[in-house]
Amino acid sequence: MLSEPVKRELTRIVAPENISFQPEDLLCYSYDATGRRYLPECVLFPHTAEEVSLILKMANAEGIPVVPRGAGTGFTGGSLPLRGGIVLSTERMTTIEIDADNMVGVAGAGTVTWDFAQKAESVGLFYPPDPTSLKVSTIGGNIAECAGGPRGLKYGVTKDYVLAVEVVLPTGELIKTAPGKTFKGVVGYNLTGLITGSEGTLGVVTRAWLKLLPLPEEKRLLVATFDTLERAGKTVIEIIKAGGFLPSALELIDGVCLKAVDEYAKMGLGGVGAAIIVEVDGRREVVDIDMEEARDICHRMGASSVDVAKDEKRMKELWSLRRAISPALKRVGSLKLNEDVVVPRTEIVELIRGVEGISRKRDVTIASFGHAGDGNIHVNIMVNKDDPEEVERGEASVGDLFELTLRLGGTISGEHGVGITKSDYIGMELNRDTLELMMRLKRAFDPNNILNPGKIFKEEGVGV
């Protein structure tokens, strides 16, 4: 319980209109895209890094848990206030500056990724990281989870674009990890890299300096359908091996997903075994050649249909269809155990076979889709939440999946992070000493364990 003096002090720091203790507001900050719910005791909407610093100093002194939150689209419970306390929303920290000559953008943590990318685009620049949630998620949330998306294959993920971050440490100090406008810099440890992907457990990001690229001149996109997922997977590998170019996106979608999303989008992809989306970008003279090549490969690999998008409007439609897959899976099962494993690219077909095996063995529906070009597949185990026995089989399947992934040389999470939903499994991938080092780092940053406690690591061994 927050004491009256603490409440008064917090109110003084951010002003009364930027704080709430009302049940309706607490409810609105109790969930994320996992659908789980934990009520905070207070929500704060700071505008500046200085306010964030004062909040953390106070929380650290009083031992109050603080959970940073962007748009609440996380898939692993990162922004859930497990132990009550404060939810610190970055929704009001939305400044954007673009330094076109240096090709650097500076964004407030709460800036929506799409808004930032659009702003860059308006001056001919390109911010590639594109989590499928990009129209909603924030730059701060993307950095905290090191989000990635379809373009990861060619352009990399969030960490490849973060030049520096301004961070408030759990003990309240305000630091900046690098100069920001230089693309290089090796003075001291790479704290930028450490903060990126730290899931809001090491500090609150307030601002970020982000690298921009020249905007590609043109894009082309095709959708090819296949009778089996395996054939689609093989085609993905073949395109990268034999194409002689890196597509700007190479997505794989299985039949279960296509059926679910087609009920919403009604684009006639309902009865198909699997599909891939291939996007290429670059200079006008090259994109058509690359697209031609991709089309040939699809035909050669036995595609049932190959459809090149005729204009920008169609491309947009296809991308919004792709973005709707994850939420639309609700139609398949009331509970979605959503995993985002990654394997070395050449193992994709093995992974697909293995997943089909798990589905048969455990008798559960599994829906797979994802950024297959870089080996990242979202494997969704769909179960009926009211059938405890089925839920149990689903959970066992998650264990099977992780074992399979690690055996193939992969990782159990490519972009969603560990949060609370994967903390049970982290020991499968990291050995005891590695984990112990990570926990020592956490203690060094956050001696009183007030910042996003209970995330990533299970309780034992951490701070308090």
Partner 1 sequence: MKELKDYREEIERCVRCGTCRSVCPTLDTVRRESHCARGRLTMIEAYLNGEELGERYLKYIKECTLCGACYTSCPNEINTPEIILSARAEYVKKKGMPAFTSFTLKSLLEPAPLTKLALKVAAKLKSLFFKSTPFESGLVSRFSLPVVGEGRLVPEPADPFFLDRAHIRRLATREDYGRMKVGFFVGCGVNYLLPSIGEHTIRVLEKAGINVAVPQGQVCCGIPALSMGDSETAKRVMMKNIEVFEQYGFDRIVTSCATCGHTLKDIFKVVLSDEQGMKERVEAFTSKIMDITEFLVDELDYRGEKTDKRAGVVTYHDPCHLRRFQGISEQPRKLLEESPYEFRGMKNPCRCCGLGGGVSFTNYELSMKIAGRKAENIKKSGADVVATACPGCIVQLKDALYHHDVKARVVHVVELL
Contact set with ligand FAD (CB under 6 A): 32-33, 67-75, 78-79, 90, 109, 131-133, 137-138, 140-142, 144-145, 147-149, 199-200, 204-205, 326-327, 415-416, 452
- Only one residue has tokens 């700071």, namely 46
User: Closer CB to ligand FAD, residue 32 or residue 339?
Assistant: 32
Which option in ligand FAD, partner 1, none does residue 27 bind, with CB closer than 5 to 8 A by kind?
partner 1
Contacts of 35 (CB under 8 A, 6+ apart): none
422 binds, among partner 1, ligand FAD, none (CB under 5 to 8 A by kind): none
> Residue 237 is inside which H or E element, if any?
helix 229-242
Which token pair is 195?
């903060």
Piece of the chain touching partner 1 by CB under 8 A; list 18-26, 306-314, 430-438, 441-449: 18-26
Sheet holding 42-44, edge to edge: 19-20, 42-44, 86-89, 66-69
Q: CB of 29: closest distance to partner 1 in angstroms?
A: 6
- Is 267 a binding residue for partner 1 by CB under 8 A? The answer is no
Q: Which is nearer to partner 1, 118 or 190 (CB)?
A: 118
Q: Which is nearer to partner 1, 133 or 413 (CB)?
A: 133
Which of partner 1, ligand FAD, none does 199 bind, CB closer than 5 to 8 A by kind?
ligand FAD
The C-alpha torsion from 449 through 451 and 456 to 460, rounded to 10°, is 10
Site for partner 1 in 298-337 (CB under 8 A): 323-328, 330-331, 336
Going by C-beta distance under 8 Å and a sequence separation of 6 or more, which residues neighbour residue 7? Answer: 21, 42
- The total of other beta-carbon atoms located within 10 Å of residue 288's CB is 13
The alpha carbon dihedral of 139, 144, 145, 146 has a sign of positive
Smallest distance from ligand FAD to CB 454, Å: 11
Q: By the 8 A CB rule, do 261 and 328 touch?
A: yes
Residue 21, interface with partner 1 (CB under 8 A)? Answer: no
452 binds, among ligand FAD, partner 1, none (CB under 5 to 8 A by kind): ligand FAD
Site residues for partner 1, 86-115, by CB under 8 A, read 89, 91-92, 94, 110, 112, 114
CA 426 to chain centre: 18
Q: Choose the one of partner 1, ligand FAD, none that binds residue 359, judging by a C-beta under 5 to 8 angstroms depending on kind.
A: none
Q: How far is the CB of 33 from partner 1 (least distance, A)?
A: 5
**Strand ranges in 109-179 using DSSP code E only, listed in sequence order:** 125-126, 162-168, 174-176
E strand spans, 169-245: 174-176, 204-211, 213-214, 218-226
- Does 45 interact with partner 1 (rule: CB under 8 A)? yes
**Residue 30 contacts by C-beta under 8 Å, 6 or more apart in sequence?**
37, 38, 39, 40, 80, 81
Residue among 34 and 405 whose Cβ is closer to partner 1: 34
Count of residues engaged in binding partner 1, rule: CB under 8 A:
39
144 binds, among ligand FAD, partner 1, none (CB under 5 to 8 A by kind): ligand FAD
Write the DSSP string, 67-93. EEESSS--SS-TT--TT-SEEEE-TT-
Minimum separation from the CB atom of position 95 to ligand FAD (A): 13
Nearer to ligand FAD, 26 or 291 (CB): 26
Whether the CB-CB separation of 446 and 170 falls below 8 Å is answered with yes
Q: What DSSP designation does 45 have?
A: -
Cα 67 from Cα 94, distance rounded (Å): 19
CB closer to ligand FAD, 303 vs 377: 377
Instruction: Choose the one of partner 1, ligand FAD, none that binds residue 94, judging by a C-beta under 5 to 8 angstroms depending on kind.
Output: partner 1
Which residues of the shown chain bind partner 1 in the complex (CB under 8 A)? 22-25, 27-35, 45, 71-73, 89, 91-92, 94, 110, 112, 114, 133, 135-137, 261, 264, 323-328, 330-331, 336
